[in-house]
Structures are given as structure tokens and as C-alpha cells.
Structure 1
């Protein structure tokens, strides 16, 4: 058994206790990025509704994009598509060679606390801060679609109607966001953009020059 597998096995025994310490509002998710679009290998608690065999979120993609330079992201706030406010920390896992192979994520549902804070803000005359929406799901296709949809909104036109020159910056952005670090993502992006796999790989190579 290699060091990565040993670390995962050890953490699988720990995460139920971590989740139980914080109660029903806490969820701990263990990711093995070597699993591609099914990176979730253990879950304790239920905040994001994910299960073993589920997908990473946009946050996981961002960490993948950083590679072995990834640093812990602690105490950040996001909003789920259902409107729940989640406070999270994502900590990369490294094997004996220093290679990032996964992550340990702690998610706290702070929706009720956020609502109280917003009420106090209203009384004080301050507007609540807008939180980015994160796609927590078992289906990586939904995460991928959310990432593409966000770029589509920024472009203000359907991605299937882009010219090649318009498509190249989009692919560069998706590459920088870690989309193509996930095994099997490229064909799905090609289908979403309405182009062939060959065209996608040619355009991606051009972006990376």
C-alpha cells in the first residue's frame, strides 16, 4: 500500500468523529483526486448531499489547477444552489513525495447564523455581502456545466455559437480553473461546446502555447 492509500485509510476512521464533534450542521468529505470525476471516497454528515463516488466542486477543481503548489483554503463562505450558506475549509493531502493527491474538506451549514447576521446588518443599514454559488453534487457533469454556464453568462452568448477566436479564451479560462485536470473532462467539454474532440484538443494546445 502506498503512502496516499495509507493516509486515506487513516482519515476514513477519523472523519466520523470530526463531523460528530460539530453536530448536525457539519459534514466532512474526503477526496481522492486520483479517482477523477468520482473523487469522494468518504463522507460523514450531510450538508452538501454528496455520497461516496460523488464529484468534487468548483473548489476542488481550483485546488487541482494549483497542482503540488496547492495551499489550504480555510474558512471561506459559499452558497449552495439551494440557498444554504456554507462555511468551508479545504486542506490538500500530500503523499510521501509531496504530491497533492486529494483533500479533506470540512463544511459547516451556517445558514441560520447568516440570516441573523443579515438581520442585524439591515438594522445597522449595511447590505449583506453576496456569496459565490458553489455546485455541490455527486454528478461531475453538473459541476462542469456550472463552470461553463458561468463563463457563458460572462460572454453573454451561448458557447455553442462562439467562433474559434472567441472559444480560445474560454478554453484557456477552463484550463486555468482546473477542468482539464479531471480524467474524462475533455470529451464532455467538447460536447458542451458543440465541437469535435479533435477540435478541442487542437484549440487547447493552441491555448497552452
Structure 2
């Protein structure tokens, strides 16, 4: 059975994380994720770079892989910044069963804050310009914090409150959230609705339209489902 095979792979990897973390040192963290339960995807963890524990949730990176399903691919040597300011170099390797189904990931996170500071100092001494800005990633045991962070980041990029968004911008926001795996999380539609100040029915309506194509506006300036464009 696929579930039994997936469980066996996760069980086999669980004791491995301690060995990898011990080899890489105190600035490392190794995590095994089970994508079948995004709200509590961390099934094994060694090290404490992101501060998560067993039973914690996946980050935005993991949610993006979850959204891509079996098309997901390894993401290697990418750099993000935690909300506490740590600079983290990571690699995320997807886990597949014998049928090719993606069901989890093995992640390695390295705290390179001190290395980056030393690099910046050397760069200043050598007259070399600093590096580009690094995106902030939310690592948390609570999936709600991750979902909120993704929604807030989109709102900040648009620099507009929900009532000020055009119909196209609202649809694009929901499309982007969907592409990042937000709605794979149980209860996310209600959480997004609360964050945006709209009803859950409106959230589901916008989500449905992004997945099936936009509805034509009615004669009164509303969408056909009654949600204002």
C-alpha cells in the first residue's frame, strides 16, 4: 500500500537526521516533513536553526512544493532570512514513493549569519558592494503563522487594502496564494478571509474563479456570484 510504503520511508529517515546534523555541526538543522499533514508536517528534526519541533508546520517553501504535487523538484542551496534575522542556507529534497508520488521532504538548514557577516566585513574592506536583499521566510510550529505571513507579504507587495484592489488584482492574489499551497492547509480559506476582512463564501468564490477562469461581471457591477469586483 502507498501509505505503508511512505510511512516506512519516513520511519527509516527519522534516525538519520541526528547523524547528518552531528556531521554538519551546531549551526545545522535537519528536518523530515510529511506533506500529507501540512499543519504538523515535521516528523523528525535535529538541530535548532528555525526553532521548530516535532509536530511543527511546514514553511512557505514546503507549501510551494506541496502545491506543485508530483511535479515538485528539489530546491538546493537557496538562501532565506528568518523573522528573527538569521540568514539560512537550505536544501530541500523531495521524497517520492515507488510510484513517483511526492509525499514529503528532507531539508537541511544551515545558519550562515556569522559567515555572511564576516563576508560583508571582508567586502567592505575590499571595497566590494554588499549582496542583494534576501527574502524573509516564516518558520513556525504553527501553520496559521505561516499562512498569515504569506497573505501579509502579498498585501505589502500590492501596497493596497482589499477594498482598493481591482477585480483582476483580487483574482491574482488568490491565484498566487493557491500556487503557493496556502489552500492545501485545512481551514486556510477561513483564515485568509479573516485576514482580508471578507466572508468565507467570498474567499471560496475567488478561489473557484482562479481555478476555473474568471466570471463575467453582471450589469450591476458585481461578479455573477454577487461578490463585488
TM-score (structure 1 length as normaliser) = 0.94
Over aligned residue pairs, what C-alpha RMSD do you find? 1.5
The corresponding residue for 2:53 is: 51
Which structure's relative contact order is higher, taking Cα pairs within 8 Å and 6+ residues apart?
A: 1
- How far the C-alpha of 1:53 sits from its partner, in A, is 1.1
Q: C-alpha distance in 1, partners of 2:72/2:100?
A: 11
Structure-to-structure mapping, 1:107-186, within 5 angstroms:
107-125=109-127, 126-159=129-162, 162=165, 164-186=167-189
Task: Label 1:89 to 1:10 Cα distance change in 2 as closer, same or farther (>3 A).
Answer: same
Larger Rg: 2
Q: Deviations over 1:70-89 (max 9, x none)?
A: 11111111111111111100
Structure 1: gaps of 5 or more residues: none
Structure 2 unaligned residues grouped into runs of 5+ = 213-229
Q: Displacement of 1:57 after TM fit? A: 0.7
Instruction: Provide runs of 4+ in structure 1 moved above 4 Å.
Output: 160-165
1:67 to 66, 69, 81: 69
Give, in angstroms, the shift of residue 123 of structure 1.
2.0
Please tell me whether residue 38 in structure 1 is matched to residue 40 in structure 2: yes
More helix by share: 1
Aligned-partner Cα distance in 2 for 1:100–1:197: 30
The residue number in structure 2 matching 1:201 is 204
Q: What TM-score do you get using the length of structure 2 for normalisation?
A: 0.86
How big is the shift at 1:182? 2.2
Q: Distance in 1 between matches of 2:163 and 2:33?
A: 32
Matched residues in 1 for 2:83 and 2:124: separation?
A: 24
Provide the C-alpha distance between the structure 1 equivalents of 2:163 and 2:29, rounded to a whole number of angstroms.
Answer: 37
Task: Find 1:78's aligned residue among 77, 80, 84.
Answer: 80
- Counterpart residue number, 2:106: 104
Q: Following the alignment from structure 1 to structure 2, what is the Cα–Cα distance between the partners of residues 161 and 95?
A: 46
Q: Alpha-carbon deviation of 1:36? A: 2.5
Do the aligned residues in 2 keep the contact of 1:121 with 1:128 (CA within 8 Å)?
no
